[in-house]
Chain A
């Protein structure tokens, strides 16, 4: 894992997304984090490969995330039971 390179103020308490839809500060924050996210995504991909959760090569990049064969389908994201 890369060393801590900076300490930003956590954004949890100061969201600015209650706007009129004319800007997209959340997407901007994701893009601002691209460098760190890129490393994290590479590590996550390797971790999935190690866990034998790699996506089939013939499926799309996004929908492939839904096809981890050994992940219980009820551990889904939307309206999941607890």
Chain B
């Protein structure tokens, strides 16, 4: 049972081998969403084939030892075009798992055939029903929803399953139920919900009312358990942690080391830990990169980052500060690097608004829901003081 606060042993240092890499095949995005964090998204800077080949050298070795993913992010990865995209995929072994995170607006019959031919897993970014996508607009400022749905309908026609990422700007009563029903109707397999973040070129505050945020997550659990066909990332991970606390295995939840998650920019530059930092510069931290795959092997870049990249060392001390001060460390593993930097201006601070919105009040919301939905027998026991 609960006594002295649990000590957590995971997340010590950076693992030498990642579980996936993020690739930026182009900086360009055909949309101009109001909350987007990406710089240069109006520029079309495409990744040359040499960069993909350099990454594939390491990835092919890693994938031989177990499941390994390449996430084609962006910009909008489909803005790369199929011909260039195929060139970038070519050096990877067949065992490597490919994913795209796409706004779906460019998906058509030929892209669906491309996904099938290359066994690419698809995740779409959509924020719920039409009226919830007002900030997802074209470069001309026009709504993008019909084009998003056109892409999703193409996926359905081809029987291609997909995941979805949804950004929530303002948690409010009723929203979680509305969104979950929407994604049930959309027939996605997996759902991740991101409370909007102050990050990158998006300088809008993400401070939110704690009760509203916890209420949003609590309501989402209620909506989910009425028809739990979708794997909801936030629900699954909260339950995973709660189960481990109940079982006395909470210290086994976190990975032993931080996943380096290398993001490979269009030009081959490598930024570890937080893809959101790619493309930014700072007088103190320079361009946040730890090297370039065109001049150094990716494993060497990862192995040397903690010693050679000052912000990475500062971040690791920040992780230790989280471990020492935050009761939620075993659930969260420490504030994300980009959230620390964009909220605090440095990497060794601790709790961020993102922590509060997407970790702390998430877990508390799930616990609120569980406490409010005890089976009747347990509820009676609790009322009698013996539970």
Q: Give A contacts to B, CB under 8 Å.
A: 1-8, 10-13, 15, 17-19, 21-41, 43-44, 47-48, 50-51, 53, 60-63, 65, 68, 70-82
| Chain A residue contacts of B17, Cβ below 8 A | none
Q: What mask results when residues 367 to 383 of chain B are scored 1 for a CB within 8 Å of chain A, else 0?
A: 11111111110110110
Stretch at the interface among B137-145, B179-187, B236-244, B283-291: B236-244
Q: Bound state CA distance, A31 and B365, in angstroms?
A: 15
Q: Is the CB of A50 within 8 A of B229?
A: yes
Main secondary structure of the interface of A (DSSP, over half): loop
Q: Which of B5, B71, B261, B361 has the most CB of A within 10 A?
A: B5
Q: B222, A79: Cβ atoms under 8 Å?
A: no
Q: A23: which B residues are within 8 A, CB to CB?
A: 2-5
Of A5, A11, A74, A78, which contacts B367 at CB under 8 A? A11
Q: How far is the CA of A15 from the CA of B328 in the complex (A)?
A: 11
The answer, yes or no, to whether B54 is at the interface (CB within 8 Å) is no
What CA separation (Å) do A23 and B274 show in the bound complex?
Answer: 33
In the A-B complex, the 10 residue pairs with the smallest Cβ-Cβ separation, listed nearest first, are: A12-B214, A35-B378, A36-B370, A17-B327, A47-B228, A27-B2, A28-B2, A12-B210, A5-B379, A33-B370
Query: In the complex, what distance in Å separates the CA atom of A51 from the CA atom of B271?
Result: 35
Q: Mark interface residues in B3-21 (1 if CB within 8 Å of A CB, else 0).
A: 1111000010000000110
Known: A24-B4, A72-B69. 14 other contacts (CB 8 A): A5-B375, A11-B364, A13-B209, A18-B325, A23-B4, A30-B245, A31-B1, A35-B370, A37-B242, A73-B19, A75-B233, A78-B11, A81-B22, A82-B165
Given A10-B218, A32-B371, does the pair A74, B99 have CB atoms closer than 8 Å?
yes
Contact of B273 with A by CB under 8 A: yes
Flag whether B194 is at the interface (Cβ < 8 A).
Answer: yes
B312 part of interface (Cβ distance < 8 Å): no
Q: Mark B242-256, 1 if CB is under 8 A from A, else 0.
A: 111111011011110
Q: For window 100-159 of chain B, which residues contact chain A by CB distance below 8 Å?
A: 101, 121, 123
Q: How far is the CA of A21 from the CA of B234 in the complex (A)?
A: 26
Which residue of the partner chain, among A10, A37, A39, contacts B364 with CB atoms under 8 Å? A10
Report A7 CB to chain B, min CB distance, Å.
6
Chain A: CB-nearest residue to B247:
A61
Q: Chain A residues with Cβ under 8 A from B235's Cβ? A: 44
Given contacts A33-B367, A41-B242, A61-B249, contact A72 B123 (CB under 8 A): yes
The answer on a CB contact under 8 Å between A62 and B99 is: no
Q: Which residues of B contact A70 (CB under 8 A)?
A: 161, 189
